[in-house]
Amino acid sequence: MRKDEAENLCIENIYFGGGTPSLCSNDEITRILNTVFEHYKIAENPEITLEANPDDLFPEKIKVLSNSPINRLSIGVQSFFEEDLTLMNRAHNAKEALESIRLAKRYFDNISVDLIYGIPNMSLDRWNQNIDTLLELDIPHISCYALTVEENTALEKLIATGKISPVNDSYAAKHYQHLVKRLESEGYINYEFSNFGKPNYFSRNNTNYWLGKPYIGIGPSAHSFDGVSRSWNISNNIKYFKAIENGVLPSEKEILSLTDRYNEYIMTGLRTQLGVSLESIENNFGLSLRKHLKKESQQLIVQGLIIEENGIYHLTQEGKFLGDGISSKLFFVD
């Protein structure tokens, strides 16, 4: 139903994202991929990633996955400490986290592991031990995210009742600063705010998002982008499936204005090592928005949050953890 959207595209990467795609059987994954390869033009050696929880990666499962077209695993470990996993209500334990990675390394070279920092009561020493564990395991790609407290979760209730400490942004910033220093000293490149990769192991999926390339999202709640418009599928599973059965694409769409696209370029560009280019802004959005960026960035440069070199703007180390707020100061508001 959606193949015409990619008529002029060559698919560089396929990403099985959350929920929990590692619950799919090998037959289900193969059927999906066969359909994609049948209806879309696929690049040679595409990156095909499967997100997985450690408790799903038992020996037989990993072996079966290694015989499928999947060539990259993204494992949601979050922490190697029981108390952190319990607090985050994770289904796996610390032993399963370690074992899943060791098993995966027998069959996969391209592995990414997720960690979470800024967890209440997590000392800097404990955070460093999490990093050390991944370095000892020689994981080529590491994604790290600050803990966020979602509404109506057990974590929110524990914080509200005073049973655990609230999330401390300044302490999370210290975790992040230590993370960057530690991983860069080990040869990892912080190519995007939350992502660290060794050379030749950057996630194509992540990189293409930040470069503003088009993508097609399949499944309930999935988002899509074609360069000028964004669409999102209905989140209700039953309504989604019924619409598909009736030959209807259950999605909504918005056309992005020139200002929307400029603001998104600022937001995504500053997150990456590529930065934001004055030349690109003038070519894609016009001279007035180039002038707007130069004007609005001056105070941020004085504050040491942004640096400009040869028409390219990057966040400084101090500015990285404040990236969202800095981006908003550079947005153009009609």
Condensed to tens digits (0 to 9), the pLDDT of residues 75-94 reads 999 999 999 998 888 899 99
Percentage of the chain lying above the pLDDT 90 cut? 82
**pLDDT tier for residue 168 given thresholds of 50, 70 and 90:** confident
CA distance to 87, 92, 109, 132, 136, per residue, from 186 (Å): 30, 28, 18, 11, 11
What lies within 8 Å, CB to CB, of 28 at 6+ separation is none
pLDDT at 163 exceeding the cut of 80: no
Q: How far from 284 is each of 278, 296, 315, CA to CA, in Å?
A: 10, 19, 22
Mean pLDDT, range 12-19, rounded to an integer: 91
Task: Give the pLDDT confidence score for residue 77 in this predicted structure.
Answer: 97
Domain 3-209 has what CATH class?
Answer: alpha beta
Alpha-carbon distance values, 302 to 87, 122, 265, 292 (Å): 41, 34, 22, 17
Q: Is 189 exposed, middle or buried (0-12, 13-18, 19+ CB in 10 A)?
A: middle
Supply angle C-alpha 221, 226, 227, rounded to 5: 125
Residue type, 272: T
Sequence-separated (6 or more) residues with CB below 8 Å from residue 13:
46, 47, 48, 49, 204, 205, 208
Orientation of helix 278-285 relative to helix 258-269, angle to 10°: 160
CB 270 within 8 A of CB 327: yes
How far apart are the C-alpha atoms of 134 and 198, rounded to whole Å?
Answer: 13
Bigger pLDDT: 296 or 19? Answer: 296
Q: Sorting pLDDT into bands at 50, 70 and 90, what band is 97?
A: very high
Q: How far apart are CA 285 and CA 307, in angstroms?
A: 22
Is a pLDDT exceeding 80 seen at residue 284?
A: yes
Q: How confident is the model at residue 307 (pLDDT cuts 50, 70, 90)?
A: very high
Report the pLDDT value the prediction gives residue 172, as an integer from 0 to 100: 92
Give residue 294's pLDDT: 96
Q: Which residues of 268-299 are buried (b: 16+ CB within 10 A; e: fewer)?
A: bbbbbebbbbbebbbeebeeebbebbeeebee
Contacts of residues 86-91 at CB distance under 8 Å and 24 or more positions apart, as own/partner, are: 87/119, 87/120, 87/155, 87/158, 87/164, 88/116, 88/119, 88/147, 88/155, 89/153, 89/154, 89/155, 91/53, 91/55
* Out of 22-26, 179-183, 293-297, 313-317, least confident range: 22-26
Provide mean pLDDT across the span 282-307: 96
* Domain 258-330, CATH: 1.10.10.920
- pLDDT, one tens digit per residue, over 138-162 is 999 999 999 988 877 777 787 888 8
The pLDDT score that the predictor gives to residue 155 is 76
Q: How far from chain centre, in Å, is Cα 310?
A: 29
Query: What is the pLDDT, as a whole number, of residue 232?
Result: 97
Cα separation, 132 vs 138, in Å, equals 10
What does the domain layout of the chain look like in residue ranges?
3-209, 217-255, 258-330
Q: What percent of the chain has pLDDT over 70?
A: 100
User: Each residue of 37-90: pLDDT tens digit?
Assistant: 999 999 999 999 999 999 999 999 999 999 999 999 999 999 999 999 988 888
Indicate the pLDDT class of residue 26, thresholds 50, 70 and 90. Answer: confident
| Cα atoms in the 13 Å half-sphere on the side-chain side of 99 | 11
Look over the chain and give the mean of its residue pLDDT values, rounded to a whole number: 94
Does the pLDDT at position 255 exceed 90? Answer: yes
Measured in Å, how far apart are the chain's first and last C-alpha atoms?
A: 36
Q: Which of 147-156, 201-210, 226-235, 316-325 has the lowest mean pLDDT?
A: 147-156
